[in-house]
Amino acid sequence: MSDSNTESRGSWNTKFGFILAAAGSAVGLGNIWGFPTQVADNGGAAFILIYLLCCLIVGFPLMIAEFTIGRNTQKNPVGAFKKLSNNNIYAALIGFWGVLCGLMILSFYLVISGWTLSFALEEIVSYLGFNELANTLADLGNGYKNAIFTVLFGLLTIVIITGGVSKGIERATKTLMPILLGILLILIIYIFTLEGSGEGLRMYVTPDFSTITPDLLLSALGQAFFSLSLGMGALITYGSYLKKNQNVVESAAYVTVADVGIAFVAGLLVIPAMFVAQASGIQIFNPETGALFSSVTLVFDVLPGLFGNIGGFLGTLVGFTFFILLGLAALTSSISLLEVPVSYVIDEHNIKRKKAAWIVGGIVSVIAVIVSFNLNLIDVFVFIFNEIGLPLGGLMICIFLAYFWKTENAVLEMKNGFENIEETSFPKIWTIFVKFICPVLIFIVLFTTLYNYIF
């Protein structure tokens, strides 16, 4: 690869910038919506413990693997597997699968991200008394409205990507992540001043181990893949812009801790907020199943109800800020989802970044508009590309690295930036994980998911 091409691919400006960008990819709807929702769905703190184990045992070793493959090859996922396998077509398919998952996950991710914008706007519009417009903005089933906000969010994502690695992605995440953290903390402090939050906190931190079932294990592992942005090469792509002096193991540790930490903290906001909503008269348990409301109902029904009950300017402010928080988290993730297919087009088809971003972003936006009008596609896409797709991708990455590229070569790559790696026990432990523990666990989970689906 010539220097000029390396230069045109771009690279991270600072070590911290890379960690923040990768953390921005990881921290998204999966943390602030998905994680609390799963905790509510799966009976509280027992889920948190299992989730932590999944992140530690499967997520962290795999994240190191993705960063290492990316940094070694300096390529998009397709190019990376081609390079490491001397152009083996089956190996390249692992990368293609990642590119496809990126496109399809982004196509529903944009729709949900669009909702965060329309609900933020709805808070203001309804405060100003434009009730009809407010109702339209809050109507999840309105395809035209969905399409407009979906495309708007797509445009935001494309514009950041056209800026390149350091001037686009790195700069945007450096600005957005501190704002996101600030908003999250302020909202938590506020929620804890309200009646009912204590009960929510208690439910959040008290584990009920009777809820641990095989299904819960599946949910926890799926959630870990999605939340840590693993299995589709997003982190291979981000790793490919790394300079040789960065310690990838340490960086992966920071990103994992940031992602898990922010998911936990987001739960401290959302679960207590549900019980505050209950104290204000809103139903938070599904009368038919007795379970806590989750997912779409929780975020786009229970919580707006709470903001309405807080009322006045304060209610508007809290509601607006909450949806902006969700939107910011979504944006730093959607750029990483788009960057995967864009980097593929740039590297493999020699197309300039701006053009590549508009072409690929345009294609994704068209699919996303179709999803805007057919929301039942979200569940289908989640199942195929997230619940099956990401673990499958992760499994293939693990097997490729362990048995074809070989862990010794990966460790050699990690040595850049972690000079005394061979004097530590890290290579041995990590090798056991990527060779045996991770693939076996992922395989069991995938097999069970498919088995449950078919029978």
Site of interaction with ligand PHE (CB under 6 A): 25-26, 28-31, 105, 226-227, 229, 232, 234, 333, 336-337
Q: How far is the CB of 106 from ligand PHE (least distance, A)?
A: 8
Closer residue to ligand PHE (CB): 315 or 361: 361
Closer residue to ligand PHE (CB): 33 or 430: 33
Residue 285 region by backbone torsions, left for phi larger than 0, else alpha for psi between -120 and 50, else beta: beta
Closer residue to ligand PHE (CB): 31 or 372: 31
Cα–Cα distance between 301 and 440 in angstroms, integer?
40
Distance, CA of 300 to chain centre = 19
Q: How far is the CB of 390 from ligand PHE (least distance, A)?
A: 7
Contacts of 71 (CB under 8 A, 6+ apart): 239, 240, 242, 244, 246, 248, 413, 416
**Three-class SS state of 285:** strand
Closer residue to ligand PHE (CB): 24 or 61: 24
Closer residue to ligand PHE (CB): 17 or 417: 17
Closer residue to ligand PHE (CB): 194 or 259: 259
199 CB burial (10 A radius; 0-12, 13-18, 19+)? middle
The helix (H) or strand (E) run that includes residue 248 is helix 248-279
Token duo for residue 424: 């530590």
Cα–Cα distance between 54 and 230 in angstroms, integer?
12
Q: How far is the CB of 337 from ligand PHE (least distance, A)?
A: 5
- The amino acid sitting at 83 is K
**DSSP string across 170-184:** IHHHHHHHHHHHHHH
Q: How far is the CB of 259 from ligand PHE (least distance, A)?
A: 7
Find the radius of gyration of the CA atoms of the chain: 21
Cα–Cα distance between 159 and 357 in angstroms, integer?
8
Contacts of 36 (CB under 8 A, 6+ apart): 263, 266, 267, 269, 270, 271, 298
Q: How far is the CB of 244 from ligand PHE (least distance, A)?
A: 25
Closer residue to ligand PHE (CB): 25 or 247: 25
**Which neighbouring-strand residues pair with 432?**
none
Q: How far is the CB of 21 from ligand PHE (least distance, A)?
A: 12
Closer residue to ligand PHE (CB): 164 or 231: 231
Q: How far is the CB of 339 from ligand PHE (least distance, A)?
A: 9
Q: How far is the CB of 109 from ligand PHE (least distance, A)?
A: 7
In 3D space, the residue among 6, 59, 93 whose CA is nearest the CA of residue 404 turns out to be 93
